[in-house]
């Protein structure tokens, strides 16, 4: 059985397909990226990034509540597809399409992007674990899918905190992406999911690279 391995909680959430009130609560979107990671009344103050300090630091990549929710449901969908129980992600082509939207690809690319600029980088579940493992910088990765009849509205990005829990990088993207409406319904759905995932991931990674490079003194 495939497991989403970067963080402790596995799986991608297509929250808008949930029908019951219980599912809606379980897959709800959280406005505050830091919910569950920082005290509810704490909002990190902005601060400049110290590139020299970052280059010597142990850095933890941590999922937001939104990312964990999205990942959990991706895992559920993957397991249904492997078991032949999904009408949307059916057959080898469906599995390949679903795998292309694996949220681990996002987290892995964040880790790869950070590596040239930090002393060491690793993934963990929360700030407590990060500090216990010696991290002094914290990268919060955020992703969530919202949708409606006409458009998909994903939201995601990364936030970087220093040891004082000041926000030294804040990147957020919330594009509006139209549903693909041509071809068989399940193929149009798969194409829509791939399009909306990349609409957040690609600009986020580009902005992260730019922010890290801009702060580096050669």
Domain of 169: which CATH number? 3.30.160
Asked if residue 30 is part of any domain, the answer here is: yes
Q: How many domains does the chain have?
A: 1
Average pLDDT of the residues in 54-67: 96
Q: What is the pLDDT of residue 94?
A: 82
- Domain holding 122, by residue range, is 15-215
Tens digit of pLDDT for each residue in 93-148? Answer: 888 888 888 899 999 999 999 999 999 999 999 999 999 999 999 999 999 987 77
Kindly give, in sequence order, each residue whose CB lies less than 8 Å from that of residue 200, ignoring residues fewer than 6 positions away: 143, 154, 155, 156, 157, 173, 175
Sort strands 58-63 and 120-123 into parallel, antiparallel or unpaired.
parallel
Q: Give the single-character DSSP code of 46.
A: B
Q: CA nearest 43: which of 165, 131, 174, 211?
A: 165
Angstrom distances, CA of residue 135 to CA of 18, 64, 113, 158, 162: 37, 17, 17, 17, 10
Lookup result for tokens 């930090």 = 118
φ, ψ dihedrals at 174, nearest 5° = -140, 70
15 pLDDT higher than 70 = no
Tens digit of pLDDT for each residue in 146-182? Answer: 777 678 888 999 999 999 999 999 999 999 988 888 8
Average pLDDT of the residues in 22-34: 72
DSSP reduced 3-state for 167: strand
Q: What is the pLDDT of residue 216?
A: 66
The pairs formed by 110-113 with CB atoms below 8 angstroms and a separation of 24 or more are: 110/61, 110/139, 110/141, 110/158, 110/205, 110/208, 111/6, 111/61, 113/205, 113/208, 113/209, 113/212
φ, ψ dihedrals at 80, nearest 5° = -65, -40
Q: What is the pLDDT of residue 3?
A: 39
Asked if residue 8 is part of any domain, the answer here is: no
The distance from CA 155 to its chain's CA centroid, rounded to whole angstroms, is 9
Q: How does residue 7 score in pLDDT terms, banded at 50, 70 and 90? A: very low
Cβ atoms of 174 and 165 closer than 8 Å: no
Asked if residue 1 is part of any domain, the answer here is: no
Q: Quote the percentage of the chain above a pLDDT of 70.
A: 85
Asked if residue 3 is part of any domain, the answer here is: no
Rounded Cα–Cα distance for residues 22 and 100 (Å): 28
H-run or E-run covering 137: strand 137-144
Cβ atoms of 61 and 110 closer than 8 Å: yes
Asked if residue 9 is part of any domain, the answer here is: no
């Amino acid at each position: 059985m495939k497991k989403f391995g970067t963080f402790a909680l596995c799986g991608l959430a297509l929250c808008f397909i949930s029908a019951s009130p219980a599912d809606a609560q379980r897959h709800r979107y959280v406005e505050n990226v830091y919910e569950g990671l920082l005290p509810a009344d704490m909002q990190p103050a902005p601060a400049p990034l110290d590139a020299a300090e970052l280059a010597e630091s142990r850095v933890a990549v941590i999922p937001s509540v939104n990312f964990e929710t999205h990942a959990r449901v991706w895992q559920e969908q993957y397991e249904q597809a492997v078991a032949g129980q999904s009408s949307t992600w059916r057959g080898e082509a469906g599995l390949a399409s679903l795998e292309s939207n694996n949220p681990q690809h996002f987290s892995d690319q964040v880790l790869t992007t950070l590596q040239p600029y930090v002393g060491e980088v690793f993934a963990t579940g929360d700030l407590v674990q990060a500090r216990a493992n010696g991290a002094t910088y914290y990268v919060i990765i955020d992703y969530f899918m919202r949708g409606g009849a006409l458009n998909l509205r994903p939201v995601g990005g990364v936030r970087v905190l220093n040891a004082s829990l000041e926000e030294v990088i804040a990147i957020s993207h919330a594009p509006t992406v139209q549903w693909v409406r041509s071809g068989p319904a399940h193929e149009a759905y798969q194409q829509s999911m791939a399009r909306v995932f990349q609409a957040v991931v690609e600009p986020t990674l580009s902005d992260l690279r730019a922010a890290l490079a801009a702060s580096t003194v050669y």
